[in-house]
């Protein structure tokens, strides 16, 4: 994350949580719990990770469904990283 210049923070874990166990049952409020080690989140969400990746790496390593348009995939593949 440091190499990509992304900031991270600990997942908030104090307070209650809402748990939905089934589509056919009402959600239940219950006490939260502390994770150890703490869960981490990216500032700006996972979109910030995608934005930080070089286009060439994205087109080579991520399977898109539906597939990217051929012209876009070729442009990204040709992008110097």
What pLDDT, on a 0 to 100 scale, did the predictor assign at position 20? 94
Tokens 């440091």, located at residue:
2
What pLDDT, on a 0 to 100 scale, did the predictor assign at position 14? 85
Nearest to 78 by CA among 54, 51, 46: 54
Collect all residues with Cβ–Cβ distance below 8 Å to 28 and sequence separation of at least 6. 18, 19, 20, 21
Q: Is this model's pTM higher than 0.75 or not?
A: no
Q: How far apart are CA 9 and CA 30, in angstroms?
A: 24
Q: Helix, strand or coil for residue 6?
A: coil
What are 20-58's pLDDT values in tens digits? Answer: 999 999 999 999 888 889 899 999 999 999 889 888 888
């Amino acid at each position: 994350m440091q190499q990509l210049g992304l900031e991270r923070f600990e997942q908030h874990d104090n307070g209650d949580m809402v748990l939905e166990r089934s589509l056919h049952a009402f959600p239940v409020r219950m006490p939260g719990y502390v994770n150890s080690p703490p869960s981490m989140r990216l500032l700006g969400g996972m979109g910030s990770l995608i934005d930080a990746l070089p286009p060439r790496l994205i087109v080579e390593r991520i399977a898109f469904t539906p597939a990217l348009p051929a012209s876009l995939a070729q442009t990204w593949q040709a992008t110097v990283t």
